[in-house]
Amino acid sequence: MWKIANTEINGKTILAPMAGITTFAYREFMRSFGVALCYTEMISDSGLIFNNEKTYEYLPRREEKRPTTIQLFGGEKEKLLSAIEKIEKYTDNYDFLDLNLGCPVPKVTRNNGGSAWLKHPNELISMVEAVVKASTKPVTVKIRIGWDEKHINFKELLPKLEAVGVSLIAIHLRTTKQLYGGKARYDLAYNIQDLVSIPLVVSGDIYSLDDALKALEITGAKAVMLARGQLGNPFLAAQIETYFKNGERLPDPTLHEQLDYLWTLANMMVKEKGEHTGILVMRGIAHHFIKGFSFTKTFRVKLTKMSTLANLAAIIKEIKDQALLT
């Protein structure tokens, strides 16, 4: 057990914020595998300020379980402060307010949002200080190690972020220029937890229990963030959490179990978004549940083209029938 501000966090895995994926249903689904904290998708400050209805759907629902972090992005201090006012009027059902200081997407960095902040450390720190003062909830940040190989500045930033009152720092161990490619730079992150007394969380390339153990050992961080490694492999969270509870190494799920997880998630997504949109979201996610099972290659394409729950049920049945033959 460890704490973010005064909130106890009961586990070692955190569901990373992932735009287009970590919706309400997805967060609930992953909580059932034991993740100790869920982040929303990144939420635009402008969308909140301009009362964009879709943007408000990204905020936690009344029935959202806790703990939950709302992740906000924006490129101007004043706008971020206005957006926080909007959030606080709209909901109290969250634990932490997170600032996205790591998004590399040009649409975001062009407006000085996401990881563009890393290029201006002084402005970054003064913005974060203002946000910490304005927010009634503890503030956390998610950063990258720097803009590019020549400007790796996360180690200087950590104590400065702590000094202005940040309650947790999540670090994606890649530069902005790396986007999502190349390896996460654990080689630069030995004992980084010693640099600050607030908790750190590390993000990047956690695909297995052993990846998680290594990441925690190298960095000393309090937890790992699960992102692409849990896509189609939700049981990874259970494997890591179980190991930390009783030392047991749970076996990987069978194909049938994977298909059950897929069916559960699809139904939750449809319940959240309606069948049309829910299945559209699942088109991008479903095929991950059968990666690793070689004979299923032909079914991956089918999963990216499905349009109803009935389609999905039929594909799952076909996969099970095929599995019996091989």
* Site residues, ligand FMN (CB under 6 A): 16-19, 21, 41-42, 71, 100, 102-103, 142, 172, 180, 184, 203-206, 225, 227-229
Give yes or no: 103 in active site. Answer: yes
Q: Which is nearer to ligand FMN, 16 or 30 (CB)?
A: 16
Q: Which is nearer to ligand FMN, 23 or 100 (CB)?
A: 100
| Category of 92 on φ-ψ map: left (φ > 0), alpha (ψ -120 to 50) or beta | alpha
Q: Is 178 within 8 Å of 205 (Cβ atoms)?
A: no
Q: Is 192 within 8 Å of 226 (Cβ atoms)?
A: no
Structure tokens at 191: 């004992």
**Distance (Å, rounded) from C-alpha 50 to C-alpha 262?**
36
Q: Which is nearer to ligand FMN, 23 or 296 (CB)?
A: 23
Q: Least CB distance from residue 17 to ligand FMN, whole Å?
A: 4
Q: Which is nearer to ligand FMN, 228 or 302 (CB)?
A: 228
Q: Backbone phi, then psi, for 152, in 5-degree steps?
A: -85, 110
Q: Is 194 within 8 Å of 222 (Cβ atoms)?
A: no
Q: Least CB distance from residue 221 to ligand FMN, whole Å?
A: 13
96 beta partners: 69
**Distance (Å, rounded) from C-alpha 295 to C-alpha 320?**
11
Q: Is 270 within 8 Å of 278 (Cβ atoms)?
A: yes
Q: Least CB distance from residue 32 to ligand FMN, whole Å?
A: 20
Q: Least CB distance from residue 8 to ligand FMN, whole Å?
A: 23
Q: Give the CA angle between residues 305, 205, 2 to the nearest 5°.
A: 115
Q: Look at the block and give the residue holding tokens 């189609």.
A: 232
Q: Least CB distance from residue 223 to ligand FMN, whole Å?
A: 13
Q: Which of 30, 38, 103, 166 is catalytic?
A: 103
Q: Which is nearer to ligand FMN, 212 or 259 (CB)?
A: 212
Residues serving a catalytic function are 103
